[in-house]
Chains A and B, each alone.
Chain A
């Protein structure tokens, strides 16, 4: 298990380095620079600006300088928000984004697992069909549709919840964003649990457990559910990738001051350093979550670690 963990951990750094390198090269190859919008700039001023940001240096030197900075947690200055380092910008928004993502994940597990289990235990009943119908919609509806629709219903028509924004630590502002972000995950997890639980319930060891006279409750909780959870655990990796992209939409829809919007804004403004910082931070988050999911899976199912 330890060797497996070390192997997985060792794969994170090279992958991160690949992300940084590819993003760096591709973004620098892009036509148009961050100072293009200000066309009135005299050439001398533009040259000075480029020198100040190190853009006049050879690409390879810029790359090494950047790598050294990143290793120290310095992503350089933003090229659009003057005077603000990228790390400060991201650090301001990240707590909001992380809270959003974590709450959505917990909600998805808290609702998706029981729903899927329930549907599997009452297979082919009206309840099962109802839950499955809901999950078809939940998977198919993108969050940029459900978000505005939820706001329309609960914010505008009923007036129960605030429409957008974030005021202090008032949790009511987070309810709709978290629900929007969690909805597809709830649906997907419910489907995963349902199908894997149905499969597990048909195996011989469940029949053996029943033959030994164990109560139905004990059969399900002790014997059927743990192995049925495995697909959910392996889905946690892709789920975090979904949460990262989903948070971009949700932060846009609800006007939340998270860090996701910097990725989009930076791409539109060609703010090299901001996009790079975001790609690295979000890439690292995704990689670490994938790693965590792999390790949990390895603990639950030793066959994986020894493969």
Chain B
């Protein structure tokens, strides 16, 4: 692997941080994500409005700086800012949990395939190929018909269950090349068992790659959740999600464009920021990308 060595190496993580710090765009994007997350966590409590409380005196009012509804309300008089912030909460939650589910499956699958090699590897990767060739939406729609629609737990399992393919491929490839290195051979010669070998020697060496791809997985999961909710297959009313808020907004946009623009704006900002940070992390931590 043609790897350009930095003149002064300060270790893997410090090197990565150095490269990341220079990337001002990624830092700003990370800051925006933190700000939006903070808003979503604290905003509803500060405003003192519940996501499902109805305000009969302000039905479908447009955004106003004087309050009480800073970004307007919907047809039922529910505060759009609070509902959107709740939607962001759900999106972030599902993004994180579904990424975690897909990471666990993907890492386990890829590490075992790469470690065992040979026939097992071929069989396991063939399964991944077959799943890759199916439109993942089918699997999720089938899973969502099987269980209760609207259950958040089912939702993130369903999303996570189809998101692990890419990470499995990456982990498997890296494990295969690690297996040929001398320090693995040395560990095996010392009698380290397969479980310990994977946990103590292989996974730590993959942590940079895994973190980078996890950050890239989060926006995909968020996108997927809002996509399902938009179609009416994900988060169900009265619980708000960015997806079903956008769906509502799209229906009302001829008379009330803000109902579409507010949740759509939040979703776009989150997606763009996460992919900027993910790309930057991959550039900073993935050794294969560094040569380029």
Contact = CB atoms under 8 A, between A and B. Distances in A.
B247 interface: yes
B253 to A, nearest CB: 5
Contacts, number: 114
B226 A144 contact: yes
Interface string A9-25: 00000010011001100
Scoring B137, B145, B232, B246 by chain A CB atoms within 10 A of each residue's CB, the highest score goes to B145
Contact of B257 (A23, A30, A152, A275): A152
Contacts of B243: 144
A282 B135 CA distance: 9
Given A15-B133, A148-B253, A286-B135, A267 B264 contact: no
A91 interface: no
A148 B135 contact: no
B contact face: mostly helix, strand, loop, or mixed: helix
A190 interface: no
Given A152-B260, A286-B134, A26 B254 contact: no
B130 A15 contact: yes
A91 B184 CA distance: 58
Contact of A137 (B137, B146, B272): B272
B201 interface: no
Interface residues of A, number: 45
A288 to B, nearest CB: 11
A144 B233 contact: no
Interface in A226-267: 237, 241, 244-245, 248-249, 252-253, 263-264, 267
B135 A249 contact: no
Nearest to A145: B264
B138 A144 contact: no
A264 B272 contact: no
Interface of A: 15, 18-19, 22-23, 26-27, 29-31, 136-137, 139-142, 144-145, 147-149, 151-152, 156, 163, 237, 241, 244-245, 248-249, 252-253, 263-264, 267-268, 270, 275, 279, 282-283, 286-287, 290
Interface of B: 130, 133-138, 141-147, 149, 219, 223, 226-227, 230-233, 243, 246-247, 249-250, 253-254, 257, 260, 264, 267-268, 271-272, 275
